Structure 1
Amino acid sequence: MSWLSEFVDVYNQNEKNLGKTNYRVYHLKKDVEAKKAFQMLPISHIFFNCQLQIDLKMDGSFAGASVVDDQRTIVPATIESSTRSGSGAYLVPNPIDDKLQYVARDFSDWSGEEKFAESHNKYLEQFKDYLDFLEDYGDQDVYQTIWAIFHYVSEGDIIQDLQANKIFGDAVTKKDVAKNKYFNSSVRFNVRNSENIKRFEDRRFFDAWIRYYQQVLKDSASCGELNVGTDYITGAQNVILTNKHPKGILDNAANAKLISANDSTNFTFKGRFLTADEAATIGYEASQKAHAAMKWLLTKQGFKIGNRYYLAWEVNGKDTTDLSIVNQNPLFALAQKQLAEKSEINTNENIAENLRKVLIDGAKEDNYSLQGAVHLIELESPVNGRFGVVYYQSMSLQQYINKFSAWYGKIAVDDRQSFFGLKRVCYDIYGDKVDDKRLAATVSQLAHMILGSQIVPWSLLSAIYNRAIRPASFDDNKSWHRVVRTAAKLFKAYYDEGEIKPMLNDNYHDRSYSFGRLLAIADVIEEGVLQKSENNEGRVTNAKRYMSSFAQRPLDTWKIIYTNLQPYLRKSDYSFKASKLIDEIFASLDAEDKHLNDPLNGKFLIGYSQQRNNWYQKKTTSK
């Protein structure tokens, strides 16, 4: 359970963030941002959606009520209340903040159901035990605040106060009130104070409940109500164990649990073990910490495709940071900026070494330990109620950097040192309308490949090749050129030959590579003339029109393209340069090769992409 222990470490190293609200910014579109709040959940607490807030004075009297926008609230919880469900849930209240059916002593009078009186009694009984503990706790502010809430819920009539405060609108009769949407809502309590600090955001109240509940668990274990044993996450012995684990880790599967052994009649553990405890025993505290850290990291820096979540992290000297390979991360952002200023891009090894140095320098600047571990995990919820780990890998930051520097050295096909996201690569391979299931599977495949063998699967190469040679299927040239460039990068990594360099190699005379160069020259010449002429807006060049046929029968198709190119050569400012290059490339082809007209391989796209880039680069330099 190494990955669970890593999440426990994340919790321990980020305890300073407990309960603090931070925001993750999403860039939905250009100049359009969205923010999502995230907090590190303290142990023995849960996130609870509270639609109402009741404000009290320090003497426990009612001071007002309101409907809240920021509904997600951190509230204390017991093992039972955090996992309650079924017909007996009405007897399992949270300690303080909960649904009105638990906290309001007059709820039964308004609803007409007597059983909720029992819910309230159970709530008060549990609440009173906590208040008794706080009397000797030492923090009088905490005790006085909790006392004010207890006094109100035990002496006041909440439903009546809410009705008088117009929370239920103009409803007057019990029947109308019971039908109101807020009648079955959840409520959080706040006691007004001079510092204007909300109780449910105050670290002191988190710590008070944690200390109390740890004592409750110890007392339960001493009398045999809870098991004590070895925690398989941390390896600690004689700790309080639990078989009830938090849910709500994944946003799109609120009830999904990562660890569950409550299915004693089917096949959760049957056939291998007699009881669930024979499979594994997990400590309550470790489980709480691991799930809280997982939820925090997923919201803070996780990446979701379909029903699969991707997460990468490393704990440096300052904070737990995002080192995701799926989308951009801080080290790559630094590398993007610094590599743009470097001109030495002669070999794959040269690019890899430059990138490695930049990433290592960036890591040192941000106090990373090169020997520290980078963790990568994928989670998926294939069915309702369950989710699991489909992939996990851990490596040192040094190894992580080496893998990436080697990969970006392999795929460099021009002077643009860009780090494309894996999701964007998937769209280039399969198109923007690819379904989420295939998208998630492809992202996983690419991530595992980059951090593993770095051998590009032929299935991906075949798919992007078939898209790249059909420019007519694209709505615009920009999208098509991006796909061609991505295809060239992937094929370059696949062939990984010394003669295929990051920049155009005039001395490399592979048949497919040379034909790709020829097509690029024809394309840029015709494109340049069309751009200058009138009434030719949106016209497709012959090179693009015949590209699919060219890839299948290059020699035969080149005759057609070259014949159609002649009028454009006469009008082009670069006629001499183009004619000279075409003659040189054609002369390098073996006229006796009986396979000269055979279908081209992926090197054709590398030659095409590099020749186009080289053409415009030299043109810009000369100007």
Structure 2
Amino acid sequence: MSWLTNLNKTYEQHENLIGRFEKKKNGREYALIPVSHTTQTAHIEVVLDGNGNYLSAKVVDKEDSSTIIPCTEASASRTSAPVPYPLFDKLVYVAGDYERYCDKPKGTPYEDYLSQLQSWCESPYKHPRVESVYRYIAKGTLLTDLIRDKILWTDEAGELLSSWPPSPDQQNAEKPDIFKVIASDQSSAFVRFSVDIPGEPESRLWRDPSVQEAFIGFYETSLKELDLCYVSGEMRPYAEKHASRIRNSGDKSKLISANDSSGFTYRGRFRTSRDVATVSYDVSQKAHNALKWLIERQGIQVDGRVFLVWGTEQLDLPDPLEGTFSLYRDEDEEAGGGDSTLKEYAEQFRRAIKGYRFDGDYKSNAIIMVLDAATPGRMSIVYYRDLNKEKYLERLQAWHETCYWQHRNGRDQNNMPRTYIGAPATRDIAFAAYGPRANDKLIKGLMERMLPCIVDGRKIPLDIVRSAVIRASNPVGMEDWEWEKTLSVACALVNKTFEKEGFDVSLNTETSDRSYLFGRMLAIADVLERRALGKDEKRATNAIRYMNAFAQRPGCTWTIIQSNLQPYQARMGTEAGYLNRLLDEVGAKLSLEDFTDKPLSGLYLLGFYSQRNDLYTSKKVKEAEANAEESSENNDQGEI
């Protein structure tokens, strides 16, 4: 019940935001929904006057289609049974002339809707604008009005069109607006109402707080039977059915469900679902509405699986699934190479975390929740952690300071490659392990498996590290940018796996690890051949071409690489002196027993990356090259 408690607390902490619409990056709106309300995607908006007369109608744009609607327990969880919403609903419920243009529906949806709306209008909680809707709906002319204004379209027989174009000869005809916003036929269109009264500031009923409060008061009078709420510990009206549409407006899956008393749901253990546990109506509504809001606001969805992180009081927390780069407040800061870079990275990351740590919120907890649905009707909490906020930030900081490497992230304002040191995002880890064409099912599975490694300090699964190392060892099968990204992510995972060894981006010249030394030799061979080929030659070096085989059989493969390297050493002459000496120096550290075909561990990638990075950035190497060029020029002048 702790997840319900935390969601209920989050709702109550942010009651001042109820009904306030916010926009997502894609332009779609969302809001924290009031109790006894849910959201639906509206397709048609009908405008009435205060006396219930039809004024106009329009097709709703997709960006403005999210609509807060009143709902009962039964309507919020309806499936195929005709249960009407109290105010806004589909045409089959709100159109009295539905049978004139469509097939006869099951049951009596229009009569049930009208009866329920009448009960609201005759109660002490009636609202004048809702009464205007009731007077119009009672006329039974909605479909006729919409067809006359060419909001809906009929065929030659006078029935609503089920698709567009209606015939092959109209293939090039302009598509009506209603068919641009609705996935199925017109008869399933959802209708919302506005009541235009002069002098009133808000005509949209779905955004009128007074209408929302009126329905809440009306519906609470029907909730009379009390039971012990397992969340609040108080005797309150209990919830018989719980909300669906958690991930989106079309989601039928529920987190709490026990609505099959005639089947094998209880299997003889309980008489009713209330014998298991009871949750009060208001707690269930607040918790589910808070969850919907949080998912819209800051949740990450991958193939239906939702990853959500929030604080009960301070909502925004660093996302454990994101990389270090997303946490940097100043993206213009760049990280170079060497020990000073690691110190700068650690300081920069701590400054980023400090903003969350010292925000004046000392009571909030960090909640991590992963949701998924195995079937269309049942949703489960795949992963749940409730941590003290300070402990969560400490564990996140430990992850970013141990699973790190140097990465490239686009280009800066001067069109120079932007490099930084940090931890990779879990999505990048998925692409490094499984390739950029990995499907969402693989990605969401990896993201879920990585969460305990980040939040609980568990070891990274070896199959993930192994997959990333294998792909990083096969550069010929990738473009340069893809391989460089895969290589840096693989190095970060290997660095975390061998955390106790204390390797770093900067070159480790003291270690005698066999794999690391072989990686250094491969990098020296790659740089030497690349410089011999020159900047204009783009083909892969022998070191890169044989990299995959080198990782599996380093002894015999190195013999091939070294023999292929000799022409380039001869071409460079004295300019290759420093690299030749360095190659001999590293090779001398390998003992005779190490020079075998035993496969290399992932540490060879660290040696390869660090050595190559050092050769491209070290001042010592540049000075050696400059001296070699100067010596060559002097020899040429002597010959002349």
TM-score range, shorter chain: 0.7 to 0.9
**Deviations 1:253-278, CA, capped at 9 Å, x for gaps:** 62111111123355543254343212
1:361 is the counterpart of 2:354: yes
Q: Please name the residue that 2:211 is paired with.
A: 205
Matches within 5 A, 1:14-413: 14-25=14-25, 34-69=26-61, 70-87=64-81, 89=82, 92-108=83-99, 113=104, 118-133=108-123, 143-155=127-139, 157-169=141-153, 175-176=158-159, 181-193=185-197, 194=199, 195=201, 197-217=203-223, 221=224, 227-232=225-230, 234-251=231-248, 254-270=251-267, 272-317=269-314, 320-321=315-316, 323-327=318-322, 332-334=327-329, 340=335, 345=340, 354=347, 357-364=350-357, 367=359, 369=361, 372-413=364-405
The change in CA–CA distance for 1:618 and 1:39 in structure 2 (over 3 A counts) is same
Q: Which residue of the other structure, out of 476, 487, 511, is the alignment partner of 1:472?
A: 476
What amino acid is aligned across from residue 564 of structure 2 in structure 1?
Answer: N
Q: Distance in 2 between matches of 1:496 and 1:47?
A: 48
TM-score (norm 1): 0.85
1:418 is the counterpart of 2:422: yes
What amino acid is aligned across from residue 4 of structure 2 in structure 1?
Answer: L
**Deviations 1:348-387, CA, capped at 9 Å, x for gaps:** xx6786366313421156x253552111111111112111
1:429 is the counterpart of 2:433: yes
The change in CA–CA distance for 1:564 and 1:100 in structure 2 (over 3 A counts) is closer
Q: Distance in 2 between matches of 1:463 and 1:112?
A: 56
The change in CA–CA distance for 1:211 and 1:35 in structure 2 (over 3 A counts) is same
Could you list the runs of 5+ residues in structure 2 that have no partner in the other structure?
164-184, 407-418, 624-640
Q: Distance in 1 between matches of 2:266 and 2:332?
A: 52
SS in 2 for 1:466: helix
SS in 1 for 2:191: strand
**Deviations 1:276-328, CA, capped at 9 Å, x for gaps:** 212211111111111111111112221122232211112455xx225322236
Q: Please name the residue that 2:582 is paired with.
A: 581
Tell me, yes or no, if the aligned pair for 2:401 and 2:422 is still in contact at 8 Å. Answer: no
**Deviations 1:86-125, CA, capped at 9 Å, x for gaps:** 45x1xx3222222333333444555585987x54443333
What amino acid is aligned across from residue 167 of structure 1 in structure 2?
Answer: I
1:510 is the counterpart of 2:504: no
Q: CA deviation at 1:451?
A: 1.5
The change in CA–CA distance for 1:111 and 1:486 in structure 2 (over 3 A counts) is closer
Q: CA deviation at 1:244?
A: 0.8
**Deviations 1:134-188, CA, capped at 9 Å, x for gaps:** 56x7xxxxx3322222222234632333343333446687x43597954453321
Q: CA deviation at 1:482?
A: 1.8
Q: Distance in 2 between matches of 1:574 and 1:297?
A: 61
Tell me, yes or no, if the aligned pair for 1:351 and 1:408 is still in contact at 8 Å. Answer: no
Q: Distance in 1 between matches of 2:105 and 2:562?
A: 90
**Deviations 1:384-421, CA, capped at 9 Å, x for gaps:** 21111111012122222222222222233448323421
The change in CA–CA distance for 1:230 and 1:531 in structure 2 (over 3 A counts) is farther
The change in CA–CA distance for 1:248 and 1:549 in structure 2 (over 3 A counts) is same
1:618 is the counterpart of 2:618: yes
The change in CA–CA distance for 1:6 and 1:440 in structure 2 (over 3 A counts) is same
What amino acid is aligned across from residue 132 of structure 2 in structure 1?
Answer: A
The change in CA–CA distance for 1:541 and 1:127 in structure 2 (over 3 A counts) is same
The change in CA–CA distance for 1:397 and 1:469 in structure 2 (over 3 A counts) is same
Tell me, yes or no, if the aligned pair for 1:303 and 1:309 is still in contact at 8 Å. Answer: yes
Q: Please name the residue that 2:179 is paired with.
A: none
Q: Distance in 1 between matches of 2:597 and 2:312?
A: 56
The change in CA–CA distance for 1:568 and 1:291 in structure 2 (over 3 A counts) is same
Q: CA deviation at 1:231?
A: 1.6
What amino acid is aligned across from residue 231 of structure 1 in structure 2?
Answer: C
Tell me, yes or no, if the aligned pair for 2:578 and 2:621 is still in contact at 8 Å. Answer: no
Aligned sequence identity (%): 28
Tell me, yes or no, if the aligned pair for 1:331 and 1:362 is still in contact at 8 Å. Answer: no
More displaced, 465-474 or 356-365?
356-365
Could you list the runs of 5+ residues in structure 1 that have no partner in the other structure?
26-33, 138-142, 222-226
Tell me, yes or no, if the aligned pair for 2:320 and 2:455 is still in contact at 8 Å. Answer: no
Tell me, yes or no, if the aligned pair for 2:312 and 2:367 is still in contact at 8 Å. Answer: no
What amino acid is aligned across from residue 459 of structure 1 in structure 2?
Answer: D
Give the ranges of 4+ consecutive aligned residues of structure 1 lying more than 4 Å apart after TM superposition.
108-116, 170-173, 177-181, 328-331, 335-347, 350-353, 570-574, 594-597, 619-623
Q: Please name the residue that 1:501 is paired with.
A: 504
Q: Distance in 2 between matches of 1:574 and 1:267?
A: 81
Tell me, yes or no, if the aligned pair for 2:8 and 2:287 is still in contact at 8 Å. Answer: yes
Q: Distance in 2 between matches of 1:494 and 1:439?
A: 21
Q: CA RMSD in A?
A: 3.1
Tell me, yes or no, if the aligned pair for 1:315 and 1:321 is still in contact at 8 Å. Answer: no
The change in CA–CA distance for 1:358 and 1:501 in structure 2 (over 3 A counts) is same
Tell me, yes or no, if the aligned pair for 2:132 and 2:195 is still in contact at 8 Å. Answer: yes
Q: Distance in 2 between matches of 1:524 and 1:85?
A: 65
More displaced, 557-566 or 118-127?
118-127
Q: Alignment length, in residue pairs?
A: 585
Q: Distance in 2 between matches of 1:596 and 1:24?
A: 57
More displaced, 47-56 or 375-384?
47-56
More displaced, 207-216 or 150-159?
150-159
Q: CA deviation at 1:9?
A: 1.9
SS in 2 for 1:411: coil
Q: Please name the residue that 1:140 is paired with.
A: none
Tell me, yes or no, if the aligned pair for 1:257 and 1:385 is still in contact at 8 Å. Answer: yes
SS in 1 for 2:10: helix
The change in CA–CA distance for 1:516 and 1:163 in structure 2 (over 3 A counts) is closer
What amino acid is aligned across from residue 14 of structure 2 in structure 1?
Answer: N
The change in CA–CA distance for 1:404 and 1:529 in structure 2 (over 3 A counts) is farther
SS in 1 for 2:308: strand
The change in CA–CA distance for 1:266 and 1:115 in structure 2 (over 3 A counts) is closer
Tell me, yes or no, if the aligned pair for 1:413 and 1:489 is still in contact at 8 Å. Answer: yes
The change in CA–CA distance for 1:608 and 1:252 in structure 2 (over 3 A counts) is farther
What amino acid is aligned across from residue 229 of structure 2 in structure 1?
Answer: D
Tell me, yes or no, if the aligned pair for 2:357 and 2:393 is still in contact at 8 Å. Answer: no
Q: Distance in 2 between matches of 1:621 and 1:363?
A: 42
